[in-house]
Structure 1
Amino acid sequence: MLLAACTTTQTATMGTGNGPDGPPPAGSGPDPQQVPDAVPKIEPIVSGGPNKPYEALGRNYTPVTRDEPLAERGLASWYGKRFHGRRTASGELYNMYAMTAAHRTMPIPSYARVRNPVNGREIIVRINDRGPFSKDRVIDLSWTAAVKLGVQGGVSAVEVTRLTNDDIRAGV
């Protein structure tokens, strides 16, 4: 089972010690505020692989395998250097400087709009991993996504909307 990055409890991944020790390493990209959002494209949803039912921390999850909308409000957390370079549920290497996120049941791959209701900022991320596995959270953001959204200080309220293929075709 490929549940690399988010299989640990998330309390250990927030706050100091998990973000970069200074500016991003050479070649990893620009200032987080300058990193463009993920560019949604229609990608096939495969059954099996990262979209098959799985268990994490004693709970069972059944990922969605259809192109359907999903909207949630809840808490976001983020994960950083502790998981940087490890395999995600999609099999890709986790890059804390990319605009990606983890979700328990959205199809992998998917794209989501994440909004911070406190400051009004919105970002688009590519869902390529599973998590968070703390029941009070709805999404785990990469470090860069958290910085752009203004939620890197810890757990923060967010609104998450999955972009469907129709949304992507419409340029939403």
Structure 2
Amino acid sequence: MKRLAILATASAFLGACVTAPPPTGTQKDPNGAPGSDRYSLQQDTAPHQHRDVSALPEPVPKQEPRSKYGNMESYSVWGKTYHVLPDAKGYIAEGNASWYGQKFHGHRTSSGEAFDMYQFTAAHRSLPLPTYVRVTNLDNGKNLVVRVNDRGPFHDNRIIDLSWAAAVRLGIDQAGTGRVRVEALSANDEKTPGSTVPTAVRAAVDSPPPNTASTPSSAQRLYLQAGAFQDRSSAERLRQSLREQLGLEAEIREQQPLFRVWLGPYQDDLSRQQMRQQVADAGFDRPMPVAP
């Protein structure tokens, strides 16, 4: 796996991977971000000496202040802008997970902490740093609490980058990637699976509203659902971001118990798919095609 080296600037420090702490006495970025250096390894690998992580305790969700680094409202990597969520409450998504290990071990994460591949941590593009999440392997049912303290992965087909230890515990280290569900946890959440009650449901995993169809009929108009939330204020924030960042006007449809943020209508599926890609390229969660 290849990960992006972070530049030594405040914005680029939000990059896909970790950077090494500067030697003692070296100058830091004028914005306060820790310095960076080059990696000694060209390719990432598992540890040279395997370590048993079966008895390693899971992190316990607790209230923590946001880290000094890695929490800008937006940042750009490879010419693409990403948006950091105002809070993690209710976040849930499904997609592919990858992992990183030996190459980045001991180097700084986007939050400024040292990366430890033997701890249960992860990188995420938009969750605040730090955030505790439960990751469930959708192929084998294994689940694990990890602490998000880094940014990445910057591949459209991945939603989270796990530490090597977390990948081993979930059973995806050998394959390199795996299908997972990611659920944000609060300090009051129990560690048993299914104990969370999301207050916001992101577009990538929200169940389609009634009568959603994949192929339009003459009486149907096509829309994109950019998000769905259980509180209207979160839906309003997303609508405002779409307007400010892309000049798009979205509507909020109240379909209990959710407030759905919809873009459209579109006359044909090609137009809808083009807009879907444009929104995703701007760093928002990829909208879900829907039809009333």
Q: TM-score range by the shorter chain?
A: 0.7 to 0.9
Specify which of 139, 149, 166 is matched with residue 145 of structure 1: 166
Tell me which of 17, 34, 40 is aligned to 1:6: 17
Gaps of 5+ in 2: 1-9, 19-42, 196-292
Report the AA paired with residue 49 of structure 1: Y
Residue in 2 that maps onto 1:23:
50
SS at structure 1 position matched to 2:159: strand
Corresponding position of 1:10:
none
Residues 102, 132 of structure 1: 8 Å contact kept: yes
Whole-angstrom CA distance in 1 between matches of 2:98 and 2:166: 10
Contact 2:61–2:189 under 8 Å retained in 1: no
Within 1, Cα distance between the matches of 2:126 and 2:58?
A: 21
Say if 1:45 and 1:65, in contact at 8 Å, map to a contact too: no
Greater RCO, 1 or 2 (C-alpha within 8 Å, sep 6+):
1
Provide TM-score, normalisation by structure 1.
0.83
AA at the equivalent of 1:114: V
SS of residue matched to 2:145: strand
Q: What is the TM-score with the length of structure 2 in the denominator?
A: 0.50
Alignment partner, residue 122 of structure 1: 143
Cα distance change of structure 1 residues 123 and 108 upon mapping to structure 2, 3 Å threshold: same
1:12 is aligned to none
Contact 2:84 2:126 in 1 (8 A): yes
Map 1:2-151; keep pairs closer than 5 Å: 2-3=13-14, 6=17, 18-24=45-51, 31-45=52-66, 49-52=69-72, 53-151=74-172
> Per-residue deviation at 1:119?
0.9
Query: What is the distance in 2 between the residues matched to 1:4 and 1:65?
Result: 19
AA matched with 1:51: N
Once residues 127 and 170 of structure 1 are traced to their aligned partners in structure 2, the CA distance between those partners, rounded to angstroms, is 16
Report the secondary structure of 1:55's partner residue: strand
Give the superposition deviation at 1:118: 1.1
RMSD of Structure 2 on Structure 1 (CA): 2.1
Distance of 2:15 and 2:141 partners within structure 1: 31
Please identify runs of 4+ aligned residues in structure 1 that moved more than 6 A: none
Distance in 1 of aligned mates of 2:149 and 2:111: 5
Larger radius of gyration: 2
1:162 maps to: 184
Secondary structure in 1 aligned to 2:98?
A: strand
Distance, in Å, in 1 between the alignment partners of 2:45 and 2:85 is 30
C-alpha change, 1:107 and 1:17, in structure 2 (3 Å) is: closer
Change (3 A) 1:17 1:93: closer
- Equivalenced residue count is 155
- 2:86 partner amino acid: T
